[in-house]
Amino acid sequence: MANPEKTKITTIKIQSQTKERLDKLRVHKKDTYDEIVQRMLGILNVCRRDPDQAQETLEKLESLAKKNKLI
């Protein structure tokens, strides 16, 4: 049985413009908003430690999004 804390879900309100911006950050068509936000937070954490590595990660994600025809 799954840990209830790990499966806890909440709802947040965001502006339509914010949603549109998140939509543009999809790498795969089925990316959830949670996956997009988690990815962004991960990149921010890497950026604090190693900006060059963060840039490489962003470039890989952009390439993947282009490959998946999302850009």
Q: By the 8 A CB rule, do 43 and 58 touch?
A: yes
* 67 lies in some domain: yes
* 15 lies in some domain: no
* 48 lies in some domain: yes
Q: Is the pLDDT of residue 20 over 70?
A: yes
Q: Which residues contact 33 (CB under 8 A, 6 or more apart)?
A: 19, 22
Rounded Cα distance between 3 and 55, Å, is 35
* 5 lies in some domain: no
Read off the pTM: 0.76
* 65 lies in some domain: yes
Predicted confidence at residue 32, as pLDDT, reads: 95
**pLDDT band per the 50, 70, 90 thresholds, residue 5:** low
* 11 lies in some domain: no
User: Which structural domain, as residue segments, surrounds residue 45?
Assistant: 22-71
**pLDDT band per the 50, 70, 90 thresholds, residue 17:** very high
Q: Which two tokens stand for residue 32?
A: 């959830």
* 54 lies in some domain: yes
* 41 lies in some domain: yes
Domain count, the chain: 1
